[in-house]
Structure 1
């Protein structure tokens, strides 16, 4: 019997095992950017033994890769943001000329040190240190919270008013339209939600009324307007495939369509808004995208009433943590799009967050909202964490026990949109969320949190990827770094780094992975030593805000 196998040392295990193939034996190793793939073929018992060897080695490689993100450290090496320097910076914060920016820098360093340290054998030490110092920083930040909240609300209102004006022209028969047909994309609801947002932003930038076509999409026999309020008052009933695509050559056309990825708008904010946001918010780009996501996420009255009824039934109140556990279509046996994360990884962060707030004396019980499409998650949580109260919404029928929700696959048909929108609503209202940013739902929740929280990055933890809309971010080094581990890279102040998109690489240790564009080195680097590069985009639509 002949075997032909493809083995991926990227950490995903055996890709395929097929009987048959070529008659002669042999092994071929092909190097790749992130590892190497082994192709081997052999016959009989020899083939079976080799397959067992590669499966066993794959378990070791995959475990080391996925659980440690290339590195497993036994102790925390000394570097710039040790507890003593953080303590000194904290004491000098009062004298800082720009209080918010200084406090934000301390928060980034503190969080980076904590995430890094908790992967070592001194986890409890770093948890305790983080809780103490972070509580002190958050107490100091409260002095500017009301002022920043007021400024953000005023800016948000100006943006919302401008969107409403463009989306509701005096005459739809003469207005310039940009049409986007979401029904042509047979992907998950979260993915299509972000595609809609990208084209929506593109349309507003172009000063065109955005028209969404959703009839015939794969989730339901009902359209967008059944669950969510219309994005505007104009419609286009004809097939949009024949329309010209918006470009420099077609900008004079009254009605155009939009397709593909809007890379020009990715990681950019209107220039007259960006400087203000940098002074009062910790994540300007996510806040900007959140303005469009929150506008799109306006529930129809019947669904809003239903969700509010669920809110009362499950006892959703203040100081609730939320987790979004994705064990469905993005996770296969060896992982196809993203790694599978045990519930303990989510609850580990939740535990620290509750401990932090219990130290402040503002919590009496531990309540966690659970969003998942897998019923095993619910049972696992209840059996392993009896000291917690777990609540869930999803799709709950009036005649069912509220503590036994129906778990609906995110890519099914019946009830899928209602289930996802309900989860998105409760997660965005949670005080702290742990999820995976490889999921579009997780990132959409983060965007919606921009309207609820003054400092969402402190209330959101991803187990795999960084936040992004379309493509990976670019970083600018604000501090130099010399690698202390073979998996790291060197960087100098001013270096530009391009993040590597890899949902199997965990960023929950305070490090990101990317390429130094100056040296060509690929590796990990401490996130607090960099800043995300957000482009200032010239846009006349939002002038005067």
Structure 2
């Protein structure tokens, strides 16, 4: 939905959610049950026969249908991780990761809560002492992810980085800080394990939400309410420890940008770097040359472009040097972001 919203803004069109009752697999209810309507236009304003598949930004057809981002042909350059050149100077001055901040505004608007969802979120937030000292948000996704996209990470790995963050805050503030975490997970056993192994931590979170996230109940109303609640509660935490292979954590991180401003550094991912599914190539530019020290590394020349595949979180990243096409490891500090600063006509009059 967020990428559709960006494309609508790119081509100055109105975004309409089509037939969400039948096609929205997350629940038997409609979009408006949990979120506010996207706009005033809806399905009644056009006929199905009018819909023409997306073919590019210059299309003149009245109604254009968008597929999931992975199936999008002639992908426009404005797709994430791009951000507008018209406001790039301001974004680069005030945010450490402008693409995240930019897309977060679209996601925040789409996720404006309905009255029912606002009530649910209010009850959940009332159980967590967000304004009474720092809380680290931990998101642990297992079940289906372990079969397709990610590896198993023990609770101890999450808690290692959680404790690391708390100790840094104590050094900065020269005072003891009460240990508190909010846990969002699809594994109900995580709550019991964390409380038993880390008795000095106060653990918040709802195990019933984890129960609804099981594969046999994931696409139900209660599961939908639960995952939205988890995302919103994660966004209210002071720091996130998670796996960015999970979209739940990435969305919590994105919404955190709206609440905090520059929260680009307030996370530790146990696996992926931040990405937006279906994004344009994430590239860096080399600022220090590098001669490979073993067969796993690649050569870097100043000014080379590197398509980054991931950060190994040990001082090295993996990527492909566009200059010679070789893929391998390289010292992360020898490159910097090559931001995708793109023209967005929508912002011309700002």
Instruction: Name 2:195's counterpart in structure 1.
Output: 382
The change in CA–CA distance for 1:249 and 1:466 in structure 2 (over 3 A counts) is closer
Candidates 455, 478, 481, aligned match of 2:290: 481
Aligned residues of 1:466 and 1:507 also touching (Cα < 8 A): no
Q: TM-score, normalised by structure 2?
A: 0.88
| Shift in CA distance, 367/245, structure 1 to aligned 2, threshold 3 Å | same
1:356 equivalent in structure 2: 168
Given that residues 188 and 208 in structure 2 are in contact (C-alpha distance below 8 angstroms), is that contact kept between their aligned partners in structure 1? no
Deviates more, 1:270-279 or 1:478-487: 478-487
Q: Distance in 1 between matches of 2:205 and 2:48?
A: 40
Does the 8 Å contact 1:437/1:462 carry over to 2? yes
Provide Cα deviations, 1:517-542, integer angstroms capped at 9, x if missing partner. Answer: 11222112233322222222222211
**Matched position secondary structure for 2:195:** helix
| Cα offset, 1:406, TM superposition | 4.5
User: How has the CA–CA distance of structure 1 residues 249 and 436 changed in structure 2, closer, same or farther, with 3 Å as cutoff?
Assistant: closer
- Tell me the SS of whatever aligns to 1:210: coil
When the two chains are superposed, the root-mean-square deviation of aligned CA atoms in Å is 2.2
240 and 381 in structure 1: CA distance in 2 versus 1, 3 angstrom threshold: farther
Q: Is the 8 A contact 1:325 1:435 kept in 2?
A: yes
- Tell whether 2:158 aligns with 1:346: yes
Q: In the alignment, which of 140, 146, 149 is matched to residue 325 of structure 1?
A: 140
Match of 2:37 among 226, 230, 236: 230
* Larger radius of gyration between Structure 1 and Structure 2: 1
Supply the distance in 1 between the matched residues of 2:331 and 2:160 (Cα, whole angstroms).
21
In structure 1, runs of 5+ residues without a counterpart are 1-195, 397-404
Does residue 149 of structure 2 align to residue 337 of structure 1? Answer: yes
CA 1:361–1:239: 2 relative to 1, 3 Å: farther
Q: CA contact under 8 A between 2:11 and 2:57: conserved in structure 1?
A: no
2:57 and 2:119 map into 1 onto residues whose CA distance is 46
Residues 289 and 302, structure 2, Cα contact 8 Å, conserved in 1: yes
Q: CA deviation at 1:419?
A: 0.4
Give the Å deviation of 1:301.
2.3
Which residue of structure 1 aligns with residue 6 of structure 2? 201
1:417 corresponds in structure 2 to 224
Question: Is the contact made by 2:16 and 2:39 (CA closer than 8 Å) also made in structure 1?
Answer: yes
Q: Gaps spanning 5+ residues in structure 2: where?
A: none
1:441 maps to 248
| Partners of 2:68 and 2:111 in 1: CA distance | 22
Q: Alpha-carbon deviation of 1:275?
A: 2.5
Q: What is the aligned partner in structure 2 of residue 373 from structure 1?
A: 186
The answer on 1:215 being equivalent to 2:24 is: no
Deviation at 1:314, TM superposition (A): 3.4
Match of 1:537 in 2: 342
- In the other structure, the counterpart of 1:499 is 308
Give 1:367 deviation, angstroms. Answer: 0.3
Kept in 1, the 8 Å contact 2:50–2:63? The answer is no
Residue 327 (structure 1) shift: 0.9
Distance in 1, matches of 2:207 and 2:348, equals 41
Instruction: Provide TM-score, normalisation by structure 1.
Output: 0.58
Q: CA 1:412–1:204 in structure 2 vs 1: closer, same or farther (change >3 Å)?
A: same
Indicate the residue corresponding to 2:61 in structure 1.
Answer: 253
Partner of residue 305 from structure 1, selected from 105, 108, 119: 119
Aligned 8 A contact 2:16 2:43 in 1: yes
User: Which of residues 503, 528, 535 in structure 1 aligns to 2:333?
Assistant: 528
Could you give the per-residue CA deviations for residues 452-506 of structure 1, whole angstroms, max 9, x where no partner exists?
22432321111111111123511111222233343222212111111237xxxx6
Hey, what's the Cα distance between the residues in 1 that align with 2:294 and 2:188? 40
Secondary structure at 1:244's aligned position in 2?
strand
